Amino acid sequence: MGLIFVRIRVGNPANTVEPVEVRCLVDSGAVYTVIAKATLQQLGIRPHSRREFILANGEVIERDLGTAAFFYEDRRGDSLVIFGEPGDESLLGATTLESFGLILDPFRRELRPLPMKLVSYLR
């Protein structure tokens, strides 16, 4: 299938600091997006929690989590972000993709609009 990279902008949802552009590997199998800790600190984003994650080799690691504003083309989505440590790849994960209303099309190697369904119960 090949790897798919996109350029997104990352900002602080709590202030007006100019967002920073980051090149990310699209990983629809990853739940959260990973951005370098130094970039998030530069934007004034602070961690609010810490969680364990399991790497592909079975190793358990801990990383800080915060909330960031993400921008792709004309879309904005706010979601959780992992504070990446040295050696961590910048990843665009599923929750951020969903916040954009996008889905990865692995055959065309592009992001496409996600059909948005809203369930309504009529009385």
| pLDDT recorded at residue 108 | 85
Total tally of structural domains belonging to the chain: 1
Do 104 and 5 contact (CB within 8 A), yes or no? no
Q: Let me know if residue 122 belongs to a domain.
A: no
CA angle 12–13–17, rounded 5-degree value: 45
Position 107: which residue type? Answer: F
Mean pLDDT by 10 residues, the chain (123 residues): 87 91 93 97 96 92 97 95 96 94 86 78 67
Residues 6 or more apart in contact with residue 106 via CB below 8 angstroms = 1, 4, 28
In a domain, 103, yes or no: yes
Does any domain span residue 118?
A: no
The pLDDT of residue 122 is 67
CATH code of 66's domain: 2.40.70.10
pLDDT value of position 47: 97
pLDDT at 39: 97
Q: Which domain holds residue 103?
A: 5-113
